[in-house]
A and B are shown apart, each in its own frame.
Chain A
Amino acid sequence: AQTVTQSQPEMSVQEAETVTLSCTYDTSESDYYLFWYKQPPSRQMILVIRQEAYKQQNATENRFSVNFQKAAKSFSLKISDSQLGDAAMYFCAYRRQGAGSYQLTFGKGTKLSVIP
């Protein structure tokens, strides 16, 4: 079974600074997707960034980028120029390709605080 581990329950960052959230996963599959989701307090979860495992290039979305290390099964999220609105729970998630690919497997999350 696939597992996703987020080893940092809480992180904090100064506004305008850069922070990196860690995620490792365990799978025997070679083709899969990885995601970072953001869940603000009392708001719905939204997709921040996704990475296809077959792509060597790291995904970027504006201030958000990932460091995908397939061999190490590591998928960290870097947030640059942190803003107050970035404060939220961040979840790393995995989804396999092919049969049984309906479900996302989430980590326990990292609570990010942004200090003004």
Chain B
Amino acid sequence: DTGVSQDPRHKITKRGQNVTFRCDPISEHNRLYWYRQTLGQGPEFLTYFQNEAQLEKSRLLSDRFSAERPKGSFSTLEIQRTEQGDSAMYLCASSLALTGELFFGEGSRLTVL
């Protein structure tokens, strides 16, 4: 499968714990995006990478959130000291060009108890 893959698909954690999600984009795509989708809402932009550089971060990305893309390949999204409000689907997408089509992964669903 050469699509965008995300891991884990589901994560249940207790409030206050740290969690990390991984995204493997389509191999030739140099642009990578993270979005968050809560129940009944459309996805909301979190952050964007071009190669290994994080070029934009949404105000939604509080200081408890950190994203990296070492070597411009896979990316990780870490949430520290999780809160119940962090419960959501975290979507990763990649594209080849700035105006190119975004290809989404199936998402990582986080439940914070």
Residues of A within 8 A of B (CB): 4, 33, 42-47, 50, 91, 93, 97, 100-109
Contact = CB atoms under 8 A, between A and B. Distances in A.
Tell me if A's interface is mostly helix, strand, loop or mixed.
loop
Contact of A102 (B44, B98, B101, B103): B98
A44 B102 contact: no
Given A44-B4, A45-B91, A93-B42, A104 B102 contact: yes
Nearest to B50: A102
Contacts of A97: 99
A77 to B, nearest CB: 15
Contact of B33 (A46, A102, A109): A102
* Interface bracket on B: 20 to 34
Interface stretch (B12-20, B65-73, B76-84, B104-112): B104-112
Interface string B23-59: 0000000000101000011111100100000011010
Contacts of A46: 104
30 contacts: A33-B99, A42-B106, A43-B106, A44-B3, A44-B105, A45-B91, A45-B93, A45-B104, A46-B104, A47-B101, A47-B102, A50-B101, A91-B42, A91-B43, A97-B99, A100-B56, A101-B99, A102-B33, A102-B55, A102-B98, A103-B45, A103-B56, A103-B58, A104-B35, A107-B42, A108-B41, A108-B42, A109-B40, A109-B41, A109-B42
Contacts, number: 52
Nearest to A89: B42
B104 A104 contact: no
B4 to A, nearest CB: 7
Contacts of B104: 44-46
Given A50-B101, A102-B55, 20 more contacts: A42-B106, A44-B104, A44-B105, A45-B43, A91-B43, A93-B42, A101-B98, A102-B45, A102-B56, A102-B98, A103-B33, A103-B45, A104-B35, A104-B43, A105-B45, A106-B44, A108-B41, A108-B42, A109-B40, A109-B41
